[in-house]
């Protein structure tokens, strides 16, 4: 048997749960995946079943481990959908409510009330975040207020809470470890990103007892070991990061100014800003990119709530497509979107607008518009929203950005890659390995266990696939962007009911 030179990454996302085994050359050698059901109990509410998540994690992890000698696996890394929150019983490990998902908008009124009371400045100064139901704190308070007896039990220390990574760590270690990492902690609105600790004043503001909260650690370290009998071997869990920070790490964006954009259910752009946090003046988020050996590297982040989810809606809601992969050929089937613009504010608009009450709109429909035009408009909306983020980043900092590195499921769409380059007027690069979120978790776990020695060793594994250069005439680009800006303005001014 060779040395332990493989790392297993658990990638628990919004619509699926995956386990991927990577070798020392950062190649995926085994993959298993399970879909995740979405629950919509009321308008604007989105929930997941924590037990379904846990059973899927066990299933995909065991399946991947079954393809290799477990003794070759050096560690497990975890990456996860961020802001999604679970509260559970410390004695039994049983959740007291379904997970409230990052997309959920049920606490919009609570955020509006706090904003009206002047609390957003305090939140931004400490956390780098805005007041929005996207983040976890108001979700935690909602569960405590709506599950009978939960607030009293939380005050007595009988309950625990955490993002998905934290819940999975608890379950994987048999309830021995209640901890999270700096990137996931930073998405709760309760974590001071400069002092790197929970903020007691914010806990009081959001009415979240500190007794509920996990310990916070570096992204690359020994968090714990899997419980005896759970898997084929007792394996160290040595890396954790929220999915977008994991993707930045997996894209080897280790230098200030390097920028990546991940296209999955939503779209999330992060630019490495170095060792000092940059406070955005254009409604981007200031967030830890990663924390290694107690040293924090920061990023500016722009969050788009709906990217691939719009394609899913075309498939499942309208039946315009049978498979998401069809959108590539559909987009090339027509010369343009026929003047159709989709503003996919299905769960509000994220950066830089941050309007939780906005709702999705489609403009420019005529009787000769087709499903292909709708599919193209949905893809184009991803590029236009990315442009909004790039422009906000450029106004916030002078960092050289160079090429945009893209990843996520939608990055496989070559038409989208080219349209992004054209609209952004910058080169767009996609790596040979698009599984950068899982790879980032593997990198973090592998760093802690000696599979890779340092960041330069990780950089050497990154290999560029396709590079898309801008080719669109300036006049056409300006006309398209003007139409998008008009559509967004009309969406923001439209009544939500």
Report the candidate in 248, 358, 270, 271 with the shortest Cα–Cα distance to residue 306. Answer: 358
Alpha helices, DSSP H only, in 243-361?
Answer: 243-250, 308-312, 326-333
Q: Does 143 map to a domain?
A: yes
In a domain, 488, yes or no: no
Domain region containing 133: 6-243
Tell me if 365 is assigned to some domain.
no
Joined tokens for residue 196: 């790197």
Alpha-carbon distances, residue 119 vs 303, 434, 468 (angstroms): 21, 40, 43
pLDDT tens for the chain, 497 residues long, are 457 889 999 999 988 999 999 999 999 999 999 999 999 999 889 999 999 999 999 999 999 998 887 788 999 999 999 999 999 999 999 999 999 998 899 999 999 999 999 999 999 999 999 898 989 999 999 999 999 999 999 999 999 999 999 999 999 999 999 999 999 999 999 999 999 999 999 999 999 999 999 999 999 999 999 999 988 889 999 999 999 999 999 999 999 989 999 888 788 899 999 998 888 887 889 999 999 999 999 999 988 877 777 878 878 777 777 776 677 677 777 777 878 888 888 877 777 777 777 888 888 888 888 888 888 888 899 899 899 888 888 888 766 667 899 988 888 888 889 999 999 999 999 998 888 999 999 999 999 999 999 999 999 998 888 999 999 999 999 999 999 988 888 888 666 55
Residues near 234 by Cβ (< 8 Å), separated by ≥ 6? 225, 226, 227, 228
User: Alpha-carbon distance 109 to 154, whole Å?
Assistant: 23
Whether 76 and 10 have beta carbons less than 8 Å apart is answered as yes
Residue 486, domain member (yes or no): no
Q: For residue 223, which of 172, 184, 188 has the smallest C-alpha distance?
A: 172
Helix (H, G, I), strand (E, B) or coil at 485: helix
Residue of 243, 340, 264, 270 whose CA lies nearest to 306: 264
| Residue 352 resides in a domain | no
- Residue 199's pLDDT is 96
Query: What are the Cα distances from residue 193, in Å, to 85, 127, 182?
Result: 19, 5, 8
Residue in this structure with the two tokens 């609570």, named with its chain if needed: 110
Of 295, 31, 17, 64, the C-alpha closest to 167 is 17
CA dihedral 161, 264, 433, 241 (to 10 degrees): -20
pTM of this prediction?
0.86
Give 264-290 as a DSSP string.
Answer: SSSEEEEEEEETSPPPPSSSPEEEEEE
- First-to-last CA distance in the chain? 63
If one counts the domains in the chain, the total is 1
How would you classify residue 174: left for phi > 0, otherwise alpha for psi between -120 and 50, otherwise beta?
left
Phi-psi region of 454 (alpha: psi -120 to 50; beta: other; left: phi over 0): beta
Which two three-digit tokens encode residue 437?
């979120």
Give the C-alpha separation, 322 to 319, whole Å: 7
Rounded Cα–Cα distance for residues 155 and 322 (Å): 49
427: burial class by Cβ within 10 Å (0-12, 13-18, 19+)?
middle
Backbone angles phi, psi at 57, to 5 degrees: -60, -45
Nearest 5°: CA angle at 345, between 341 and 350?
Answer: 115
Whole-angstrom distance, CA of residue 350 vs CA of residue 389: 10
Q: Going by DSSP bridges, is the β-strand pair 464-468/428-431 parallel, antiparallel, or unpaired? A: antiparallel
d(CA 250, CA 430): 12
Write the CATH number for 48.
Answer: 3.30.420.40
- Return the pLDDT at 303: 81
Angle in degrees, 0-180, between the axes of helices 414-424 and 326-333, rounded to the nearest 10: 60
- Confidence (pLDDT) at 265: 78
Instruction: DSSP for 368-424, please give it.
Output: T--HHHHHHHHHHHHHHHHHHHHHHHHHH------SEEEESGGGG-HHHHHHHHHHH
SS (H, E, C) 389-403: HHHHHHHHCCCCCCC
The three-class DSSP label of residue 466 is strand
pLDDT in tens, 312-363: 887 877 777 777 667 767 777 777 787 888 888 887 777 777 777 788 888 8
String of b and e for 52-72 (b: at least 16 CB within 10 Å)?
bbbebbbebbeebbeebeeeb
In a domain, 188, yes or no: yes
Task: Round to whole Å and give the CA distance between 436 and 442.
Answer: 9
The verdict on residue 114 lying in a domain is yes
Give the pLDDT of residue 400: 61
Alpha carbon distance 283, 420 (integer Å) = 22
In a domain, 84, yes or no: yes
Residue tagged 């990780």 (tokens):
458
Residues for the chain: how many in total?
Answer: 497
């Amino acid at each position: 048997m060779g040395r332990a030179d493989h790392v297993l990454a658990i990638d628990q996302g919004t619509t699926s749960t995956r386990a991927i085994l990577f070798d020392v050359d950062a190649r995926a050698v085994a993959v298993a995946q399970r879909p995740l059901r979405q629950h919509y109990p009321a308008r604007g509410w989105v929930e997941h079943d924590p037990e379904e998540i846990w059973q899927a994690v066990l299933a995909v992890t065991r399946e991947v481990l079954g393809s290799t000698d477990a003794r070759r696996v050096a560690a497990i890394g975890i990456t996860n959908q961020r802001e999604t929150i679970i509260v559970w019983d410390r004695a039994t490990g049983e959740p007291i409510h379904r997970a409230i998902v990052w997309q959920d908008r049920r606490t919009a009124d609570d955020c509006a009330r706090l904003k009206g009371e002047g609390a957003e400045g305090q939140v931004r100064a400490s956390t780098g975040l805005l007041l929005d139901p996207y983040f976890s704190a108001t979700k935690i308070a909602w569960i405590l207020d709506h599950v009978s007896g939960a607030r009293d039990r939380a005050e007595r220390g009988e309950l625990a809470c955490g993002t998905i990574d934290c819940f999975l760590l608890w379950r994987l270690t048999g309830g021995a470890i209640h901890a999270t990492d700096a990137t996931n902690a930073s998405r709760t609105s309760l974590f001071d990103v400069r002092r790197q600790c929970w903020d007691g004043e914010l806990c009081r503001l959001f009415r979240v007892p500190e007794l509920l909260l996990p310990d916070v650690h570096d992204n690359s370290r020994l968090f714990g070991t899997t419980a005896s009998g759970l898997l084929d071997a007792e394996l160290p869990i040595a890396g954790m990061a929220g999915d977008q920070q994991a993707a930045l790490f997996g894209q080897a964006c280790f230098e200030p100014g390097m920028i990546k954009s991940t296209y999955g259910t939503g779209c999330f752009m992060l630019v490495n800003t170095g060792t000092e946090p940059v406070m955005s003046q254009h409604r981007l988020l200031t967030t830890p990119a990663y924390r290694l050996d107690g040293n924090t590297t920061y990023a500016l982040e722009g969050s788009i709530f709906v990217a691939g989810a719009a394609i899913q809606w075309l498939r499942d809601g309208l039946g315009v497509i049978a498979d998401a992969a069809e959108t590539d050929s559909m987009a090339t089937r027509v010369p343009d979107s026929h003047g159709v613009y989709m503003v996919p504010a299905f769960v509000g608009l994220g950066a830089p607008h941050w309007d939780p009450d906005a709702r999705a709109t489609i403009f420019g429909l005529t009787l000769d518009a087709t499903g292909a035009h709708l599919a193209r408009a949905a893809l184009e909306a991803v590029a236009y929203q990315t442009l909004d983020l790039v422009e906000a980043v450029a106004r916030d900092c002078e960092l050289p950005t160079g090429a945009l590195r893209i990843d996520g499921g939608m990055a496989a769409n070559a038409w989208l890659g080219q349209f992004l380059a054209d609209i952004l007027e910058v080169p767009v690069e996609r790596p040979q390995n698009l599984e950068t979120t899982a790879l980032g978790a593997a990198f973090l776990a592998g760093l802690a266990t000696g599979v890779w020695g340092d960041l330069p060793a990780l950089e050497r594994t990154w290999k560029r696939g396709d590079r898309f250069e801008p080719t669109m005439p300036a006049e056409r680009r300006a006309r398209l962007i003007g139409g998008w800006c008009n559509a967004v303005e009309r969406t923001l001014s439209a009544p939500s009911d």
